Amino acid sequence: MSKIKKIEALEILDSRGNPTIEVILKTTDGIITKAKVPSGASTGANEALELRDNDKKRYSGKGVLKAVSNVNNEIDKLLHGKSVTDQETIDNLMIKADGTENKANFGANAMLGVSLAVARAGATSQNKAIYEYLNTKGTYLIPCPMMNIINGGVHSDSPLDFQEFMIRPRGAQNFKEALRWGAEVFHTLKKILKDKGFATSVGD
């Protein structure tokens, strides 16, 4: 049985240059998995709390050393020796130990990073892809992609109130065709907007 030997975390930078957490998990039988948990540009009022340091001297207060410390100390001790295939028990142990509705003590970023690293270790221990490991129903359905083609709100400098305008290419015979439709709509829309004199800058 593959059991948790060590969980440690690091502060790294995401694609926007903002700090995020990376979790590294090691098992008793030599499995090593990693998980990174970058966040979006905006967060909802009811989302679980992403724990930040609020130290204005580092990364404008966006550092995550508190979350890193929580992984390296409390969470590592809490989960030491637990089986990596017991995902639900591990998640519930962290939720109970955190003790808050919005995961404010450990930080949702710390807990999610650990949870994902555990899931990857569990999948590796059973020689399965993670989608196979997490799927308990035994059936597979390729999803229809949803594609963001216009950004507004905090994702761009435009005056648009809506954050994202998305399309869903329904009716495609397969994922490859759906992806092509989405790409073609995106580039065609850009050409139309450019021809009409509208901005076509790319948001994040």
Q: Between these two residues, 142 and 91, which has the higher pLDDT value? A: 91
Phi, psi for 39 (deg, rounded to 5)? -110, 165
Q: How far apart are CA 116 and CA 123, in angstroms?
A: 11
User: For residue 50, with 0-12 CB atoms within 10 Å meaning exposed, 13-18 middle and 19 or more buried, which class applies?
Assistant: buried
Domain boundaries, the chain: 4-134, 147-195
Phi, psi for 83 (deg, rounded to 5)? -70, 135
pLDDT digits (tens, 9 = 90+) for 105-140: 999 999 999 999 999 999 999 999 998 999 877 777
The structure's pTM equals 0.80
Q: Which residues contact 2 (CB under 8 A, 6 or more apart)?
A: 27, 28, 29, 31, 83, 84, 85, 121, 122, 125
pLDDT digits (tens, 9 = 90+) for 151-162: 877 666 667 778
Tell me, what's the pLDDT at 140? 72
Of all residues in the chain, the percent with pLDDT exceeding 70 is: 95
The residue written with tokens 């930040």 in the block is 52
pLDDT digits (tens, 9 = 90+) for 170-201: 999 999 999 999 999 999 999 998 999 887 76
Q: What is the CATH number of domain 4-134?
A: 3.30.390.10
